[in-house]
Amino acid sequence: AQSVAQPEDQVNVAEGNPLTVKCTYSVSGNPYLFWYVQYPNRGLQFLLKYITGDNLVKGSYGFEAEFNKSQTSFHLKKPSALVSDSALYFCAVRDWEGSYIPTFGRGTSLIVHP
Amino acid sequence: KAGVTQTPRYLIKTRGQQVTLSCSPISGHRSVSWYQQTPGQGLQFLFEYFSETQRNKGNFPGRFSGRQFSNSRSEMNVSTLELGDSALYLCASSETTNTGELFFGEGSRLTVL
């Protein structure tokens, strides 16, 4: 079985400050991990993924995420937040040997204040 | 390449009616998945089709059905609509690998009155 937890429903950060959106996961085997972003009234857009290799993954729009196997976490980060980063962020996981269907977290609303 | 296209974008139905939503995947993508998104339940997996066959199914009642055509286009149908079916229905396509990310359409927002 696979599951994802996003412990924060909402994250508030000031523009220019670093941001972190948290994600922890549970899988039977090894994980494939993904982050997606959703702007209002739009579909989800892929940001980045971890498959194997370097624990620090760089993605679109200056976002990056760090895979930590011992803590089963995959937190999304950005060094300097922009107001335009305000959106809903979803973490998702697939087990290496599981089905093709990812399990999504409930989403975290990121609000960046000017 | 064109992205995933969903039609219609918005629709309003009344209880008891049925609705059909359409999804055209990215060219070359053979897997199409459908999700229901609501504020209370988040993103819930409905079903996935690959090469015209339902490969995976989520935990939804039989009123929710789908199909995929030979050109990979997919439709989903909801019969006997209930108020609780009001949601954003998202379609996603992907390449046929376990490492591939999903490419989502803009969604079809269904309101049931």
A23-78 pLDDT, tens digit per residue, is: 999 998 889 999 999 998 889 999 999 998 899 999 999 999 999 999 999 999 99
Tokens 């997919």, located at residue:
B74
Q: What is the pLDDT at residue B95?
A: 84
pLDDT category at A85 given cuts 50, 70, 90 is very high
Q: Measured between alpha carbons, how far is B15 from B38 in angstroms, rounded to an integer? A: 18
Q: What percent of chain A has pLDDT over 90?
A: 81
Q: What is the pLDDT at residue A29?
A: 85
Q: Which amino acid is at A68?
A: N
What is the pairing mode between strands A64-68 and A73-78? antiparallel
Q: Do B102 and A44 touch (CB under 8 A)?
A: yes
Q: Which residue of A has its CA nearest to B98?
A: A100
Q: Measured between alpha carbons, how far is B80 from B17 in angstroms, rounded to an integer? A: 5
Q: What is the pLDDT at residue A45?
A: 96
Mean pLDDT for chain A? 94
Closest CA to A13 of A74, A89, A65, A105: A89
Higher per-residue pLDDT: B110 or A1: B110
Q: Which residues of A touch B98 (CB under 8 A)?
A: 32, 94, 96, 100
Mean pLDDT of the A79-94 span: 96
Interface test with A, best of B5, B7, B102 (most A CBs within 10 A): B102
In angstroms, the first-to-last Cα distance of chain A is 41
Q: Measured between alpha carbons, how far is B26 from B4 in angstroms, rounded to an integer? A: 5
Whether the predicted pLDDT of A17 surpasses 90: yes
Q: Measured between alpha carbons, how far is A105 from A65 in angstroms, rounded to an integer? A: 16
Q: What is the pLDDT at residue B97?
A: 67
Q: What is the pLDDT at residue B39?
A: 87
Q: Two tokens at B94? A: 């992907």
Phi first, then psi: give them for residue B3, nearest 5 degrees: -85, -170
Q: Which residues of A touch B31 (CB under 8 A)?
A: 100
Mean pLDDT for chain B? 93
